[in-house]
Every structure is written in structure tokens, then in C-alpha cells.
């Protein structure tokens, strides 16, 4: 199964990401976003950034996750290439919780080439779907549009 595909959108760019579960879906969405920003093959895994977020919907959770990673990229100048995500539901609070780690390194103009600057993660057409498969289980799919 592929991790993501880039989708064209009027004046913006987006991705459709896929996963066998929500953890993989969120990791692949982040991977897709950073593949738009730079060539991931050139990024090392020298820095680990831990992110914890709670939201009431999965759409709000993925938006916050990607937005936080984009914030780290623009403010701390860290490019990421690998993501480890654990999502759980707190039934008492009716909130989804994400505990994630992003692996990457500080931007180095001699080593890294920035392809496209992403200004923001948008809510436009943002959705997460569970798609049943004929054989075992299902896959998850999300669509995210970025303001460039």
C-alpha cells in the first residue's frame, strides 16, 4: 500500500494519505507533507521531537498534528522524515489523544533543498475515512489541503 499521493488543488497543494490504522495514517500524512517541502532522502534522524495533542475529532487531531510539525519546521528550522504516532480515545473526556515522535534534523542549506513552502494546513476538504476492504479489515484515508 502506498503512503500517500499528491493531489492538485487550485493555487494550493494537497495529499491523500493512507494507513492500515490511524497511527499509520497520521504518520503517512506527515511524511506526505514533508515530501512536498523537501527531498526526504537527504534528511537525517539526529533530532527527535515529541508532540502530544488532544482534540475532540480526528479531523481536528490531524490538523493540529500537521500544524505543530509545520510550526517546528518554520520556527525551529527542523525538517522531519520519520514519524511514530500513537492515537488513543479517552472515553471519559470524549477526546482523541495523539502522542507522536518526529525524527529529523536542523535545516542545512548545504545539504537540504526546499521545494515548496507550505504556509498553513487548511480545513478545506479535510476528512478522514475508514474504507472497508473485501478481505480482512479496512484502510484509512485522509485528504489534506495545504496553503502554499
Q: Which helix (H) or strand (E) holds 35?
A: helix 22-37
Known binder of ligand: residue 148?
A: yes
Which pLDDT belongs to residue 38? 96
Please count the structural domains in the chain. 1
Domain of residue 21, residue span:
4-147
Alpha-carbon dihedral sign for residues 102, 107, 108, 112: positive
**Which tens digit of pLDDT belongs to each residue from 72-131?**
999 999 999 999 999 999 877 789 999 999 999 999 999 999 999 999 999 999 999 999
User: Can you give the CATH number for the domain in which 75 is found?
Assistant: 3.55.10.10
Known binder of ligand: residue 12?
A: yes
With both helix axes pointing from N to C terminus, report the angle between 58-76 and 22-37 in degrees, rounded to the nearest 10. 40
Residue 10 has pLDDT above 90, yes or no: no
Residue by residue, DSSP assigns 75-114 as: HH-EEEEEEEEEEEEETTTTEEEEEEEEEEEE--TTT--B
Residue with cell 502530544: 52
126 DSSP 8-state letter: -
**Which tens digit of pLDDT belongs to each residue from 28-43?**
999 999 999 999 999 9
The DSSP bridge pattern shows strands 120-121 and 12-19 to be: unpaired
Which pLDDT belongs to residue 142? 97
Which pLDDT belongs to residue 11? 77
> What does pTM read for this prediction?
0.95
Average pLDDT, rounded, for the chain: 94
Amino acid at each position: 500500500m502506498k503512503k500517500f499521493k499528491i493531489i492538485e488543488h487550485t493555487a494550493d497543494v494537497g495529499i491523500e494519505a493512507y494507513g492500515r490504522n490511524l497511527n499509520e495514517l497520521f504518520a503517512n500524512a506527515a511524511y506526505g507533507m514533508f515530501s512536498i517541502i523537501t527531498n526526504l532522502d537527504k534528511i537525517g534522524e539526529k533530532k527527535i521531537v515529541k508532540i502530544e495533542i488532544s482534540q475532540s475529532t480526528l479531523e481536528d487531531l490531524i490538523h493540529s498534528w500537521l500544524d505543530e510539525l509545520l510550526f517546528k519546521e518554520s520556527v525551529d528550522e527542523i525538517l522531519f522524515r520519520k514519524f511514530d504516532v500513537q492515537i488513543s480515545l479517552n472515553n471519559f473526556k470524549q477526546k482523541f489523544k495523539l502522542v507522536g515522535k518526529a525524527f529529523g534534523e536542523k535545516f542545512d542549506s548545504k545539504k537540504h533543498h526546499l521545494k515548496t513552502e507550505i504556509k498553513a494546513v487548511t480545513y478545506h476538504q479535510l476528512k478522514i475515512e475508514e474504507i472497508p476492504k473485501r478481505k480482512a479489515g479496512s484502510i484509512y484515508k485522509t485528504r489534506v489541503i495545504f496553503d502554499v
